Amino acid sequence: MTIRSRRETVTFRHPFRINGIDRLLPAGSYDVVTDEEMIEGLSFPCWRRIATMITVPAESGGAGMTEMLSIGSVDLADAQAADAQAAPASVAQRVAHD
Q: Indicate the helix (H) or strand (E) that contains 70.
A: strand 66-71
Q: Indicate the helix (H) or strand (E) that contains 53.
A: strand 47-57
Q: Is 98 helix (H, G, I), strand (E, B) or coil?
A: coil
Q: 0.85 cut: is pTM over it?
A: no
Task: Share the mean pLDDT of the chain.
Answer: 87
Asked whether residue 97 carries a pLDDT value surpassing 80, the answer given is: no
Higher pLDDT, 77 or 42: 77
**pLDDT score recorded for residue 86:** 83
Domain limits, the chain: 3-97
**pLDDT score recorded for residue 60:** 79
Rounded CA gap, 4 and 71, in Å? Answer: 18
pLDDT tens readout for residues 61-96: 677 899 999 999 999 999 999 999 985 655 545 544
